Chain A
């Protein structure tokens, strides 16, 4: 369970996020939508601890990040948080000097101190589940965008996170591959993961996200079940965005 309460974030006296609150129930998918600059990526970076929040709280199971924590406490909580939360960046940031397999086992071996053989066999299973078993010895540069993304997903999953955060997962995919990704993500939910997906592509989230959160100017404009947000939004701004996105 992720609970965000009255979260605010500012950088250089500009407010990027203002009073953001929402919750994500276990084994559900939250889609965060909004135009560029609406603050959705920053929100994601707060959820995985890359940005420190200035007000409010983030709760993730028994972990609690609060703006008023001391630096050391915040760092400790962040460290705990990252054990539970895996992230797949928009730009993926695979490690270019390591092979696909090495990318995936790097953290299990060196952070979790997992025996190399065990890490390898887990990694191979993961690669099989994302359909990339044949590419283990390749280097990331030589893979297509979609393949690279699946490596990044496998790399995040190798740390056994309960929660997975995605930033613009469809930006490099054609519609056919996007559909493939959607079914892959759904399979993760069935296996017990909870997902938060930042995207401006509403079509991708239909049939995937249980709830939608529409952001504009760093504020939550609309938050509710996907169906309601898309079909009967309360705020006219949401309606505008949804209509533009689907046209």
Chain B
């Protein structure tokens, strides 16, 4: 009999064999993580050939990997969670225009700098009042979440909104949902400069560097990566790539010239972007996000409850064409993901001149979506009322409308209350999809604060508490209402029994 230790030995040996085979067949890989969505000019899908990734960092990593004698493997990831993904081991390095901020440096290591970036403020072409970031204290400025730009604005106390990609930010600027966009120059060059409806406000400012993100404590990999960066700077490969992408400027020369002259690297060091994370600030931001969540939840429930009724009645008693229309509406909103509906409302509707701000889009979108569900709750509840209740009302001279309002609806309400409560609690949680359209609600707040601080666990608990704080009173209230309706029946029944 083979005991478990022996078995483990066998497995380890077998695995080692596989690994040896694998490495013998292929070179060692260099898995690098970056976010390709809206990722130009760093790394993005080639518009001419969407199966391929292109970008200056893609070319740079190819050159670095060649210098390291490794095979580059691109791992498409998500910008805001890059650091945690690296810590989890999803890839070996981050190359995605990542700034070596001190807070990130607590979580991961950084290579030497390979690029010096500046920030550029962009406004609409007809903007008269904003000339620099200082003019933005009462405006809303868009940028990517968890970037040097967002941290700078947080430090300066400028209201900002985080986007998942630059495309969304510049589009919202065009649609007047925000007043300005602050981005790193490479993105501004690629996405905003060619757009005639936008213009730069002032000169680029606030230098910082892009460095390769590395797992904490892996000195060997760090040395290897630094050597590779050193090599592609010295032999002019990096300059060639940057010139090709129109990103070469004086700042790059300042970074590269000393290295080419044989001086040690990383003499250029900037720090403008340490995020100052403190719990008081985090709780304040979470509270604000909670208010937005409550606003969206209550607003959309109001829409759902109001719109659900005509939908239910239309589908139930309406003429055939109306019943059909209601059915189509209901099946459409129940049958497609609410996320897709929100994205459509947010990005699709402006095409016909209807550009709502994010929170309103979420409120309306969730309202329209839940109306479909509420209509079915109503329909079931209305259908559960015996026909005799209608007939008794008619025979007392009531019109259908009066009978509905005074006799049918109050009875249906009692039946509909539990499922309605259920939907409301569920709607509370569904407000988190508003994250997709950059609304600062609880889920967005959690992601951004946690990414900025690395406090996923503690913030996660805090955010869950916020959700519970909001949904529990609702559930409690509904239960009490239900109980009160039931208790009245119960007491009467007991009294009747005693009297009987």
Contact = CB atoms under 8 A, between A and B. Distances in A.
A3 to B, nearest CB: 21
Nearest to A87: B395
Contacts of A94: 392
Summarize A's interface: helix, strand, loop or mixed: loop
Contacts, number: 68
Given A79-B397, A139-B489, A144 B496 contact: yes
B492 A110 contact: no
A91 interface: yes
Given A93-B391, A95-B407, A97-B411, A159 B489 contact: no
Interface residues of A, number: 29
A67 to B, nearest CB: 20
Nearest to B392: A93
Contact of A83 (B389, B397, B407): B397
A116 to B, nearest CB: 14
A142 B392 CA distance: 20
A91 B388 contact: yes
A86 interface: yes
Contacts of A85: 395
A41 B377 CA distance: 34
A179 interface: no
B406 interface: yes
A125 to B, nearest CB: 18
A89 interface: yes
B396 A50 contact: no
Contact of B394 (A82, A83, A139, A142): A82
A48 B397 CA distance: 11
Interface in B467-500: 488-489, 492-493, 495-496, 500
Interface of A: 48, 50, 79, 82-83, 85-87, 89, 91, 93-97, 106-107, 110-112, 138-139, 141-144, 155-156, 159
Interface of B: 386, 388-389, 391-392, 394-398, 402, 406-407, 410-411, 414, 488-489, 492-493, 495-496, 500
25 contacts: A79-B397, A82-B396, A82-B397, A83-B397, A87-B395, A89-B391, A91-B388, A93-B386, A93-B391, A93-B392, A95-B389, A95-B411, A106-B396, A107-B396, A107-B398, A138-B495, A138-B496, A139-B489, A139-B492, A141-B489, A141-B492, A141-B493, A142-B495, A143-B496, A156-B396
Closest CB pairs A-B (n = 4): A142-B492, A107-B396, A93-B392, A93-B388
